[in-house]
Every structure is written in C-alpha cells, then in structure tokens.
Amino acid sequence: MTFALPLPVSRPSAEELAALRDAVARVRTERGPILPFEIAAMDDRLSDHGLDGAGMHEIAGASPSWGDDAAATLFAAGIAARFAAAPGLNVLWTLTRFDLYAPGLEQAGLAPDKIFYAQGRDDRDVLALAEDGLRDGALACVVAEAKSVDQASTRRLQLAASEGRTPMLLYRRFRRQDRCPLAEPSLAMTRWRIGSAPSAPLGLPGVGRGRWAVELVRQRGGPPFSLEVEACDDQGRLALPAAIADRAAAPDRAARYAA
C-alpha cells in the first residue's frame, strides 16, 4: 500500500493579499446604491439585500401569454419608478414597437412625465440606445425591450451600467413559444421570471389587487428563490399577501418554461 504525501500549501504574500483587498474594494465602489424591495422575504434572500443601482437586471414573463407579459412589464415599471422617485430624475424606455399602456404604467408608479421613449428599428438599435443612455449617467434608470440579445450585448450593457452608475432593466421578450428568454446566457446581476397569479377574492363583485408569481432565476452571489406577491401599487411597491406571507410560486409554470 502506498500513501501520497500531502502537497505543500503555498501562502499568498503580503503584496498579493494587498492586491486582493484592493480588488475587492474596487468592486464594492463600482456598485451603485442598493434599491431594496422593502419586503424582508425578498431582500433577505438577495445577496445585496436589494437591486444594485449600477448593474443590469433581466426580466422575462413566465410564459408568452398576455397576462404574464403585462405582469413582467409592470414589474419593470415599478422598479424603474422607485429608482426615479427623486425629483428631476427620469427613465429612458427603449423598444421597437410602441405598445405600452401609459395609464397602466402610471398605476405602477411610473407617471408619463417621468419617461423618455426611444424607438429603434430592431433589437440592435434598441440596445445601442439603451447603452448610450446608461453611459450618459444622467438618467434614473434605463429599460430596454428586446427579443434577440447575445451574451456580448449583455456584457456591454453591464459595463455601461457600471460606468454610468445607472441601473439597467432588460426586458427579454419571447421569440419562441416553448423557450424562456432566460435560457440564453447573460452577465446580468439578477434574472427575474414574472407570471400572473389569481388575485385575492373580494367580499363583493370586482377584482382584487393583482398578484404575481415572482421567481429569481439567478443572482450573483446567492441562490434562486420564488415568491407570490401583490402587484405594484401607485408608488411602485410590492407587498406580501396577508394569507400567504412566504409561499413559493406554483411549480407547474416554472417547470414548463424552465430556463
């Protein structure tokens, strides 16, 4: 019987440790202000306890249905509205086809006078417009809607968000009915899949506050999770349903459109 001798353990030098500390400090300073959701069940599971204000975050509907598309759009609008809450700050929303419903965005906290729209001929134009807006550094947030986004484009958007210290929300639209856009590789800091859920029953005729199945598919430095929440109010804020304070999103939809 033979025994392998243990390999010698090399210890980093003082210079290497100092360089590592400088690198960590530099990464921390490159991050922007953190925007919490102000829901402990979400913020406590996020590695930054909120969304990095100098990073790119991706959003997609849980399915190509109109209901999930609307839920994902309003989820992005609510986040953008909260980034733009301070006076004088505006949001740039870039897209190829202007099919947004302004009253719906306003109900999610994003008023018409807080948005600049930029329409491109194709996804390449949309992403270029978004990148310019990010690098300018004068906007509260940039939202871009696109179907075709490669990994190189996500790298450029992440770098532009970091350099301009402006948050980027990339809404990835469906190209195929059976494949979630979040299946494509990306350098986003967080990736969210949003689906509509049944609203709370009321004691009288009418529809209660909307509910969404929110799934964090991937994040840097933390695990994924899913949660059911009440839709954005007119300040862009989410809430937990009283009866299901921490229930996971329904698994059937997540399994069908799994990334």
65 burial class (0-12, 13-18, 19+ CB within 10 angstroms)? middle
Q: Residue 150's Cα: distance from chain center in Å?
A: 17
Question: What local confidence, expressed as pLDDT, does residue 19 receive?
Answer: 64
Q: pLDDT band at 247, cuts 50/70/90?
A: very low
CA angle centred on 156, ends 151 and 157, rounded to 5°: 95
When mean pLDDT is compared across 34-43, 93-102, 200-209, 211-220, the lowest value belongs to 200-209
pLDDT computed for residue 165 by the predictor: 96
What is the C-alpha separation between 99 and 165, in angstroms, rounded? Answer: 28
All domains of the chain in start order, with CATH: 35-256 (3.40.50.300)
Residue range 19-77, pLDDT digits in tens: 655 544 454 445 679 999 999 999 999 999 999 999 999 999 999 999 999 999 999 99
Closest C-alpha among 143, 185, 115, 148 to residue 59: 143
Report the pLDDT value the prediction gives residue 86, as an integer from 0 to 100: 87
State the angle between helix axes of 123-136 and 151-164 in degrees (0 to 180), rounded to the nearest 10.
20
- As a whole number of angstroms, the longest Cα–Cα distance in the chain is 80
Q: What is the DSSP string of 193-258?
A: EEEEEPPPP-SSSS----EEEEEEEEETTB--EEEEEEPP-TTS--B--SS-TTPPPPHHHHHHT-
pLDDT band at 12 (very low <50, low <70, confident <90, very high): low
> What confidence score (pLDDT) does residue 32 get?
75
Is the pLDDT score of 219 beyond 90?
Answer: yes
Chain segment 163-175, per-residue pLDDT in tens? 999 999 999 999 8
In the structure encoding, which two tokens stand for residue 251, read together?
């698994």
How much of the chain, in percent, has pLDDT values that exceed 70? 81
Q: How many CB atoms lie within 10 A of CB 24?
A: 10
What phi, psi does 47 have (nearest 5°)? -60, -30
Band (pLDDT 50/70/90 cuts) for residue 179 is confident
Where does the pLDDT of residue 106 fall: very low under 50, low under 70, confident under 90, or very high at 90 and above?
very high
